[in-house]
C-alpha cells in the first residue's frame, strides 16, 4: 500500500479526528484513580465518544488471524506492553496504565493517541519509566521535518532509551493513519539515522514507543490480543499523531489536558491556529 499524502481537506479532517481522540482522554483523566476498573474506564470512553458523535475504532476490530477486539479502547497495566483488554479488576495504588484511544469521526477519519497514568503513589522506577518514555516519544517527534527519514525517528528514540538502561519493544510500531486505522508507513522506534522512507509534507503517522524496564522480549497472552513483557517487568507507552508540515511538524493530538511538552522540543509542536 502506498503512503497517502493528505491534502488540505484531509489535514483539516485529521486535525478534528485527533482533537476528538485527545478530548476523550481529557474526559477520562479525572476518573483514573485507585479503585476504578479498566472496564469502567472503557464504559466512560464509550459514553464520551457517543457524546461527541464519534465511535470507537477498536471495538470489533479484527485483523487477519486475530479474534474481534472486545472493547472501546486498550488499557495496558504494569507489565502489559499493549492491547490490554479492559477488565473488572480495580486499579490500585502503585499501578501504571496506558490508555489508548482511537476514534472514527462521522465522515470516516481516525484519530489515535495514548497516555500513561500513574495510580496514586508509584515507585521511583515506575515514575522514571513513564517520564523517560514520554521524553523518548518527543525526541522521536522532534526529528520530523521534510527531507528527514523514518530511521532518524527510530534512532533518536532507541539511542535515548538504551542510554537510560531501558529497552525498546521492536515487534510493534507507529503507523500511518487517515481514513484507515493503519496505513503506510510503519514507524519503527529503533533504527539507523538516514535510512528509511523520506518524509514529505502531508504525511500523517503515529509515534508511539513502547519501553520496558527489563528486556525487550515480549509474549502474547491466550486472549490473542494482550502483549506482556516476557520477564514481567514494567512497560510504558505514549502516543501522538503527527503531521509533516512544509517547515517541520504539527502534533495533532495535543489538547488542553495533555501533559506539558518537554523543554528540549524544538519543532513546530502546536496545532495551527
Residues 138-184 have pLDDT tens digits of 999 999 999 999 999 999 999 999 999 999 999 999 999 999 999 99
pLDDT digits (tens, 9 = 90+) for 43-82: 999 999 999 999 999 999 999 999 999 999 999 999 999 9
What's the pLDDT score for residue 196?
96
Distance CA 259, CA 273 (A): 19
81-98: per-residue pLDDT in tens?
Answer: 999 999 999 999 999 999
Q: Say if residue 221's pLDDT is above 70.
A: yes
Q: End-to-end CA distance of the chain, in Å?
A: 32
Asked if residues 57 and 68 have their Cβ atoms less than 8 Å apart, the reply is no
Phi, then psi, of 167 in degrees rounded to 5: -130, 150
Confidence label for 3 from pLDDT (cuts 50, 70 and 90): very high
Residue 273, pLDDT > 80, answer no
102 has a pLDDT exceeding 90 = yes
Domain ranges of the chain: 8-251
C-alpha grid cell, residue 20: 476528538
Q: Which residues does 9 contact at the CB level (< 8 Å), separation at least 6?
A: none
Extended strands (E) in the chain: 55-56, 74-77, 80-82, 96-104, 110-118, 167-168, 174-176, 183-187, 204-207, 210-212, 218-220, 227-229, 235-237, 240-244, 249-251
| Global pTM value | 0.96
Q: Is the pLDDT of residue 272 over 50?
A: no
Looking at every residue in the chain, the average pLDDT score rounds to 96
Mean pLDDT of the 22-30 span: 98
Class of domain 8-251: alpha beta
pLDDT at res. 266: 78
- The answer, yes or no, to whether residue 271 has pLDDT greater than 80, is no
Amino acid at each position: 500500500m502506498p503512503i497517502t499524502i493528505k491534502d488540505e481537506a484531509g489535514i483539516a479532517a485529521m486535525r478534528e479526528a485527533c482533537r476528538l481522540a485527545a478530548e476523550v482522554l481529557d474526559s477520562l483523566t479525572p476518573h483514573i484513580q485507585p479503585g476504578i476498573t479498566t472496564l469502567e474506564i472503557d464504559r466512560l470512553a464509550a459514553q464520551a465518544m457517543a457524546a461527541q458523535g464519534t465511535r470507537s475504532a477498536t471495538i470489533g476490530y479484527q485483523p487477519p488471524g486475530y479474534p474481534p477486539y472486545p472493547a472501546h479502547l486498550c488499557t495496558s497495566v504494569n507489565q502489559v506492553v499493549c492491547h490490554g483488554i479492559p477488565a473488572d479488576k480495580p486499579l490500585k495504588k502503585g499501578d501504571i496504565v496506558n490508555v489508548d484511544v482511537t476514534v472514527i469521526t462521522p465522515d470516516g477519519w481516525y484519530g489515535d493517541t495514548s497516555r500513561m497514568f500513574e495510580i496514586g503513589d508509584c515507585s521511583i522506577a515506575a515514575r522514571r519509566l513513564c517520564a523517560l518514555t514520554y521524553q523518548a516519544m518527543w525526541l522521536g517527534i522532534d526529528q520530523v521535518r521534510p527531507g528527514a527519514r523514518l530511521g532518524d525517528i527510530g534512532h533518536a528514540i532507541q539511542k535515548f532509551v538504551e542510554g537510560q538502561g531501558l529497552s525498546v519493544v521492536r515487534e510493534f510500531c507507529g503507523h500511518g493513519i487517515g481514513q484507515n486505522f493503519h496505513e503506510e508507513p510503519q514507524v519503527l522506534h529503533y533504527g539507523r539515522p538516514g535510512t528509511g522512507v523520506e518524509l514529505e509534507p502531508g504525511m500523517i503517522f503515529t509515534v508511539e514507543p513502547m519501553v520496558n524496564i527489563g528486556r525487550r522480549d515480549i509474549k502474547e497472552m491466550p486472549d490473542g490480543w494482550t502483549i506482556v513483557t516476557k520477564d514481567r517487568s514494567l512497560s510504558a507507552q505514549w502516543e501522538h499523531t503527527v503531521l509533516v508540515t512544509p517547515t517541520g511538524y504539527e502534533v495533532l493530538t495535543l489538547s488542553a489536558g495533555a501533559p506539558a511538552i518537554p523543554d528540549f522540543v524544538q519543532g513546530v509542536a502546536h496545532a495551527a491556529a
